[in-house]
Chains A and B, each alone.
Chain A
Amino acid sequence: MHSIRKNKFIAAMASPKIAVYCLLLLCILTVCGTLYQVSYGIHEAKARYFTSWYFLVWDIVPLPGGQSVMWCFSINLLSSLIYRIELKWKKAGFALTHLGLLLFCFAALWTYLFSVESYLTLEEGASSNVSTSRYHWELAVWKIENGKKYVESQTLNSNIGKDDKFSFHNNEVQFTVLELYHNCSPSYSKEGRDLKNASGYSKIIQKKLQPDQTLNRPGGIFILEQNQDKILLIGEENNDLKLNSKKSSYFTHLRRKRNPLPVTLRLDDVNMKNYSGTQIASHYESRVYINGDGMPRQTRISMNNPLRISDFTFYQSGYRNSGNSEFSTLSVVKNSGRLLPYIASFIMGLGLLVESFYRMFKIKKRNK
């Protein structure tokens, strides 16, 4: 243990100055991010200031991003825990406070790595039990039996390439990748007439990958192993392609990844209120009917009043009126570690309480 304490790196990293600078930088990042999201939206602000390693001020001056600062702060806390704090009962308050802070950083890392963000747009009267990913795509194959849509899907990761094979529905549908592009556009050509496509496309034109992932549209040519048909699929194509199998009919579509929800949500009503005399929204509210978890119920989701069901949180994030009908968009976040910040707060609070009581006890003892 003494050898660890003598380690110069740990000693340097345990410096309280680092913690102060990190906290200062986090304050600056929070202010910058808050101001930036007003003009560019929450996702852009998050990407620029909070999940980035660094960002450029006026496109020239590099400053550390949220991820760098948080890693630095975590290492500093861990080093302090090892180097500075003596684990004696009289130092328990300090240790708990630092442990709570460290757990906060761990919660942030957990959320960054494992939380899944998606959205759910519903027209009034429509219902769904799946949300849609903004960034990820999937190759979905489904069959309809007794009015139910049984879906199996494969996420299109960047490591998928030529000759990769996917099988669905107990190998009744098997695909082999012939060509796969993560950004492309559809077109027509006489040469591609042997390719099967539901919308009549016969050619794929590869395009440069966009830094904004929402702008990329994947596409590919696949071989259906059952009959060696060549199939052309383009992301979010208008039509589903029907595949005939010996047992039943299947449909396929290259689409934005769907995330199954624990309940089915039906949008019964959506309201928007503007600031008087302006077209600026002051309040959105969705009235939804929840079914599927054994407790059918109606509830309201508004801008600062999200709906929480197990690991899922539904935030009101958008409203659209197409003239004849109204649509509501909910941001859906699945975060299995959503309780971690509460546990961290509890540990930190407990640490501060223990420390306060200890100091009070010490002062009283000294006065006596």
Chain B
Amino acid sequence: MTLKKNKLVYPLFLSLLLIVMLNGCSENDKQSYVEETTPREKVQQNKDHYHTDNPVQKDVHQGVLSHKSVAIEKPPVNFIWELPKGWIRINSNSNFRIATFSIVDLKGVECSLYKFVGDAGGLERNISMWSKQINIKSNSEQLKEILSEVKPFSTISGIKGNLINFSNWVKNDLDANIVVSTLAIDDETIIVKLKGPKKLLSKSLTSFDYLIKSISKNQLK
């Protein structure tokens, strides 16, 4: 018995093509759905560290920095950070300033977190600007000296950054000093600036170091 070829091959081939075309037509560029994305919630597990959204109730052990942290921020930006103990966030309304923090025990010290597109004008230009903010008259020689003191560092998550401390150029303990860190995330620059009297600033350097090293990219964004 011979099967008639034209009764099998062509209908089969055409029906397969039709299925492909129909499936293609159902591709919709517009869609509507209910999105249920929730940030982390506490999970019972034997971990040596975890985050908490409550800044008051939890003490969280940080193995790396042997420091006590109390809160994780939920910023509307593409990076996250952890606040050191005793640091409080103050509201700030600015396009560039993401957040401002004050320190409970150190009145007069303020920390600001900025975000800029690109390289934020370059390190040299910024150092010149920051020098002026604390009344350091920087000539080109002094600027070179400050630039040579810039310390590269890396956050816990591996983001490369620079740390600049102007304390060597501030004479009196009560004069204003600035410690700044710059970090490059994607095509943006994050600047964390700690400002206050030289003496008080030296007391908050460990916490500042903790804050800048905790900055990481927000993977949930």
Contacts and interface: CB of A to CB of B under 8 A. Distances in A.
Interface of A: 1, 78, 81-82, 86-89, 106, 109-110, 113-114, 121-130, 142, 148-155, 157, 166, 185-188, 199-201, 236, 238-240, 258, 260, 264, 268-269, 320, 322-325, 327, 336
Nearest to A89: B1
Nearest to A201: B117
Interface string B180-191: 000000010000
Contacts of A324: 49, 51, 62, 72, 82, 156, 214, 216
B64 A125 contact: no
Contacts of A336: 23
Given A114-B23, A154-B29, A240-B76, 7 more contacts: A88-B3, A127-B38, A128-B38, A148-B36, A155-B31, A185-B117, A324-B214
A260 B51 CA distance: 28
B30 A186 contact: no
A186 B117 contact: yes
Contact of A88 (B1, B16, B41, B219): B1
A82 B9 CA distance: 7
A152 B31 contact: yes
Nearest to A87: B3
A323 B156 contact: yes
A114 B24 contact: yes
A201 B95 CA distance: 8
- Centre residue among A109, A123, A186, A327 by max chain B CB count within 10 A: A123
Given A157-B29, A260-B31, A127 B36 contact: yes
Contacts of B37: 126-130, 149
B43 A124 contact: yes
Interface of B: 1-6, 8-9, 13, 16, 20, 23-24, 27, 29-43, 45, 49-51, 62, 64, 72, 76-78, 82, 95-96, 115, 117, 155-157, 187, 214, 216-217, 219-221
A268 B96 CA distance: 36
Contacts of B62: 324
Contacts of A268: 43, 45
14 contacts: A114-B27, A121-B220, A123-B219, A125-B43, A129-B34, A129-B36, A155-B29, A238-B78, A239-B77, A240-B76, A260-B33, A269-B45, A323-B216, A327-B219
B103 to A, nearest CB: 21
Contacts of B34: 129, 148-151
Contacts of B27: 114
Contacts of B43: 124-125, 268-269
Name the residue among A87, A89, A268, A324 with the largest chain B CB count within 10 angstroms: A324
Given A154-B30, A155-B30, A322-B216, A200 B95 contact: yes
Contact of A151 (B5, B33, B76): B33
Nearest to B10: A82
Nearest to A114: B23
Contact of B219 (A81, A200, A239, A320): A320
A142 B2 contact: no
Contacts of B31: 152-153, 155, 260
B20 A87 contact: no
Given A153-B31, A268-B45, A323 B214 contact: yes
> Which among A122, A125, A157, A199 has the greatest number of chain B C-beta atoms within 10 A?
A125
Contacts of B6: 1
Nearest to A81: B9
A236 B5 CA distance: 56
A269 B154 CA distance: 27
Contacts of A122: 220
Contact of B16 (A106, A113, A264): A106
Nearest to B13: A78
A123 B8 contact: no
A256 B33 CA distance: 15
Contacts of B30: 152-155, 166
A274 to B, nearest CB: 17
A265 B169 CA distance: 54
A151 B35 contact: yes
A151 B32 contact: yes
A123 B16 CA distance: 42
Contacts of A123: 39-40, 219-220
Nearest to B50: A325
B128 to A, nearest CB: 21
Contacts of A127: 36-38
Contacts of B82: 324
Contacts of A199: 95
Contacts of A86: 2
Given A114-B23, A323-B64, A130 B3 contact: no
Contact of A200 (B4, B42, B50, B96): B96
Given A106-B16, A200-B95, A238 B214 contact: no
Given A88-B2, A88-B3, A324-B49, A124 B36 contact: no
Contacts of A121: 219-220
A258 B3 CA distance: 49
